């Protein structure tokens, strides 16, 4: 099968997310049939986040993973992203939630984080790592800012090990999601990119190996929905 070479340069990714920021939340609900909410809830529960801890939510986007962590515990939460438009929506939602005392945001690339070594007890990233051109360097950088014994939770769309499920999920993302995007989004090519980036993501066991290569000591992964989403849990 022909593999499309995806342009994941920060400027392209940044332009793309800036252009879809205002429709991102609605499209997320439609494309996943609301299941992304349950996924984040499970991931936040697995993270074991406590109110005396400091968490960094990477590629935080419009903030939904940060808010889910906030409903687990009112610790210190920092969200970072490269898209100022996604972050401005996150900030609006934070004010509406009256959570400004706990959640703040920084414009930052995951590969160059503006934090000292060993700052965070927990780092999280939801549906963000597949947009990064060099996930290995990104995960090395995340390890740098995580305390010894700290956790890193990665949630990502993965190819299901069951061939029929894999076929159906790719059909959904490659054929159906762009149809919805044509009705609701100003940037249909972004949704073609999502479908392609999901189809090119490595299988969960291979990605777990890459996490280990980045210096994370223990790595577990838990498939959800027959493996179309995986939660990776890494310990430094």
Ligand X SMILES: C[S@@+](CC[C@H](N)C(=O)[O-])C[C@H]1O[C@@H](n2cnc3c(N)ncnc32)[C@H](O)[C@@H]1O
Applying CB under 6 A, which residues contact ligand X? 10, 13, 17, 59-61, 64-65, 81-83, 86, 109-110, 126-128, 131-132
Assign 192 to helix, strand or coil.
helix
> Whose Cβ is closer to ligand X: residue 61's or residue 164's?
61
CB of 163 to ligand X, least distance (A): 26
Please choose, from the candidates 33, 28, 39, 18, the residue with its C-alpha nearest in 3D space to the C-alpha of residue 124: 39
> Whose Cβ is closer to ligand X: residue 34's or residue 218's?
34
DSSP state of 2: P
CB of 98 to ligand X, least distance (A): 21
- E strand map for the chain: 54-58, 76-81, 103-107, 120-126, 146-157, 218-224, 229-235
CB of 66 to ligand X, least distance (A): 8
Chain residue whose CB lies nearest ligand X: 61
CA separation for the pair 118, 100 (Å, rounded): 24
CB of 63 to ligand X, least distance (A): 8
> Whose Cβ is closer to ligand X: residue 15's or residue 118's?
15
CA separation for the pair 156, 233 (Å, rounded): 12
> Whose Cβ is closer to ligand X: residue 44's or residue 204's?
44
Q: Which residues of 158-197 are buried (b: 16+ CB within 10 A; e: fewer)?
A: bbbeeeeebeebbebbbeebbeebeeebebbebbbbbbbb
CA separation for the pair 10, 170 (Å, rounded): 25
> Whose Cβ is closer to ligand X: residue 111's or residue 162's?
111
CB of 201 to ligand X, least distance (A): 12
DSSP state of 80: E
- Partners of 56 in beta bridges: 78, 123
CB of 48 to ligand X, least distance (A): 19
> Whose Cβ is closer to ligand X: residue 38's or residue 217's?
38
For residue 137, report the phi and psi dihedrals to the nearest 5 degrees: -65, -40
């Amino acid at each position: 099968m022909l593999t499309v070479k995806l342009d994941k340069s920060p400027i392209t990714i940044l332009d793309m997310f800036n252009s879809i920021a205002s429709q991102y939340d609605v499209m997320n609900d439609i494309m996943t049939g609301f299941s992304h909410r349950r996924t984040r809830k499970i991931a936040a529960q697995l993270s074991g986040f406590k109110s005396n801890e400091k968490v960094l939510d990477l590629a935080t986007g419009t903030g939904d993973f940060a808010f889910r962590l906030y409903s687990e515990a009112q610790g210190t939460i920092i969200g970072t992203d490269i898209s100022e438009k996604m972050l401005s929506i996150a900030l609006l939602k934070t004010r509406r939630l009256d959570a400004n005392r706990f959640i703040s945001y920084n414009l930052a690339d995951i590969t160059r984080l503006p934090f000292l070594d060993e700052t965070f007890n927990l780092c999280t990233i939801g549906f963000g790592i597949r947009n990064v051109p060099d996930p290995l360097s990104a995960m090395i950088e995340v390890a740098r800012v995580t305390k010894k014994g700290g956790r890193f939770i990665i949630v990502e769309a993965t190819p299901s090990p069951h061939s029929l499920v894999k076929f159906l999920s790719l059909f959904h993302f490659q054929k159906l999601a762009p149809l919805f995007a044509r009705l609701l989004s100003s940037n249909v090519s972004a949704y073609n990119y999502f479908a392609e980036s999901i189809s090119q993501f490595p299988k969960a066991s291979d990605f777990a190996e890459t996490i280990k290569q980045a210096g994370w000591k223990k790595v577990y992964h838990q498939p959800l929905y027959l493996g179309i989403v995986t939660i990776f849990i890494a310990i430094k």
